[in-house]
Chain A
Amino acid sequence: MTAKSAAHTIATFARRHRLRPMEALPWVLAVAAYFVFPDYLALGAQILATLLFGLSADLVLGYAGIVTLGHAAFYGVGAYTAGYLAAHGVGSPIIGLIAAMVAAGAVGFISGLIILRTQGLSILMLTLVVCVMLQEAANKMTSITGGADGLQGMEVQPVLGMFRFDMYGHTAYWYALGVLFLGWAVTRTIVHSSFGRSLTGIRENVARMNAIGTPVFFRLVTIYTISAMLAGAAGALIAETTQLVALNVLSVDLSGTILVMIILGGVGRLYGAFIGVPLYMIAQDRFSTIDPTYWYFWIGLLLVLVVAFARGGILGMADAVLRRFKRSP
């Protein structure tokens, strides 16, 4: 390796975590959407909250390579924590959010200590088991969760004592956008840190990471806990903005759907969720409005097309196109 190319490589690595102008695009779009689609803010807030959930799922799946089918467990714990507090007099949304993160993080830490000792299919099964067990527990503990009727009677106070959650979703939209921004800042910092890099290393080659002395298990538990906290925050957002929690926040269905959304956008690329989640949810909204009986078919068709023609998700396809342009000047 020549000195010049080494310097070039170092410069590339040094640049990769610098903010690029393109990264402002999602936020500009999100603010613009508020003014362009005033009738769609309730959906918008749900998309933003789900985006945070997608980011957290991408941290474990895309970066750390932990294949999970139970990520809704943390989302659900967060949602029920925030919901339970709001239904029992602690109506401050910020306190609810923080409590939800702590509770979800605790569940993530404890289950991670057990689950992350295994690999491959066992991880898949164990994450699934945690999710199903929590859902069944929520179904049985009707006095706390309301069971199949859902947790009703939440009274969420205005954000910072000033902005009431309204039916049209004005407050919900800004609140979700703010929390998402913080979540994104944390996620971005993590994936570009040396800790984030070591996660990618673990994903690509566990044996080598062990050999060079990386505390693999500890790293995995850490990222699993952080991801669980973010998922818990997303769950709290959904609970507080819709003022309702139901058993499906803990469903395996949801765990699968969030994976589908980030795969649609592109896994392990931070912005995959920013493409996949809105695309999936807007498509779902449009299709189910136009064709309320067979809308699932159109969603399925969309997914088949993406899987067939855009491997690596939409961002992966975009990369491939860009590369072709660069190669043939």
Chain B
Amino acid sequence: MTITARFLAALFTVTLAGIGIASAQTEIKVGVVSTMSGPDAQPGDEMNKGIDLYVKEHQKDLPAGVKVTLIYRDDTGANPDVAKRLATELVTRDHVNILAGAVWSPNAAAIASVATEAKVPFVIMNAAGASITRASPYIIRTSFTLWLVSTPIGQWAAKQGWKKAYTAVTDYAPGFDAEGGFTKGFTDGGGTVIDKVRMPFPTDDYSPFIQRIKDSKPNVAFIFVPAGKKATAVMKAWNDLGLTKAGIKLVTTQDVMLDEELPNMGDAPLGIVSAGTYSNAATRAANQVFLNAWRNAYGEKPIADFMSVAGWDGMAAIFDVVKQTNGKFDGDAAMKILSNWKTTDSPRGPISIDPNTRDVIENVYIRRVENLNGKLANVEFETIPNVKDPWKEANPPK
């Protein structure tokens, strides 16, 4: 009985919500496929907070009588089939105007076919696998690719005069991209990759891999693991085995030197150099505006990171479509605006969408972890402006 009552009550609520929605004026529905439960929920949460924040701050800027509604669905992690089903349902049941989100690359690739068949634009706000934007003409990406950040850090490492590198990446597609990007940048600069290891996705114990790096005595190690708790685990192993003391340098991407994980890492990351598209500590005016809004909405505890900013920027692109069309657009009209979208006031600096590849063009920053007023922060000290995804440059479409 209890169950039936619950279920009926739930159905009733949904029906009411449905009626409420129908009575609004022009409503633009954005269906967000994100990760909200399970062990991998943290990156999804960061992204969602960025999305919500933009809508909260800018709903008032929309033309009169138009509003943007977010519909969230939980894909529970890297589950492409679930993501595909959710995206299909968002299109066929909820009739969303735009699909967005996607924390994981496999999920984004799965949603691509739904976007193509339904002719619904799909704004990728995190998933960083290089080739995904080619999976559908209805995709744009506002986050980054791993080639985009790992190639510059490879070049930077080679410029320091380091000759021998060791790469250690997580054993899945974005890991291969990170490995490929770093190797390209480093070897083009005259270095050699002496050995490489791919670490299993589920592991949280990185000591055996870090020990192998230590034993082969490279000048520099490049490590990539997916953003989140794994970043802290890998830094712990690095510190415990004393690689910095052994004279081995570490370079990595923003996924490992994650702004929100830095407070959990102790002093281990001090001095470590990484490449990234966004740092919480950036002094740009647009970033200060973003951080103030963030603090007002969420307080001091959750720390905004590059995923929050990609969500924020993705919504900015969607809002521009709504503003320019007064809320009346179809998939193709929206894609015309989205694939030419650019802004100068993203929290990460100027960004734009490359109309040819529909992928993002943005600055890559080389940052060093320093102690700023008692807190560790990624301080940007070198900017490589307007970087395009190097993988797409090297692998033109057939």
Contacts and interface: CB of A to CB of B under 8 A. Distances in A.
Given A40-B93, A167-B118, A292-B36, A149 B109 contact: yes
Contacts of B135: 152
B106 A293 contact: no
A39 B135 CA distance: 26
Given A288-B74, A290-B14, A168 B92 contact: yes
Is the contact region of chain B dominated by helix, strand, or loop, or is it mixed?
Answer: helix
B7 interface: yes
B172 A242 contact: no
A158 interface: no
A290 B13 contact: yes
A288 B73 contact: yes
19 contacts: A42-B85, A46-B85, A149-B172, A150-B81, A150-B109, A152-B109, A167-B117, A238-B81, A242-B84, A242-B85, A243-B113, A249-B81, A288-B73, A289-B14, A289-B73, A290-B13, A292-B73, A294-B37, A306-B3
B91 to A, nearest CB: 7
A287 interface: yes
Given A42-B92, A152-B135, 9 more contacts: A39-B92, A139-B171, A149-B129, A244-B80, A246-B79, A248-B79, A283-B7, A293-B37, A302-B6
Given A149-B129, A150-B106, A167 B173 contact: no
A260 interface: no
Interface of B: 2-3, 6-7, 10-11, 13-14, 36-37, 72-74, 78-82, 84-85, 88-89, 91-93, 105-106, 109-110, 113-114, 117-118, 129, 135, 171-173, 201
A305 B85 contact: no
B289 to A, nearest CB: 28
Interface residues of A, number: 37
Contact of B106 (A148, A169, A286, A306): A148
Contact of B105 (A43, A149, A293): A149
A246 B92 contact: no
Contact of B110 (A150, A169, A298): A150
Contacts of A139: 171, 201
A266 B113 CA distance: 38
Contact of B173 (A148, A290, A298): A148
A168 B117 CA distance: 11
A296 interface: yes
Contacts of B201: 139, 148
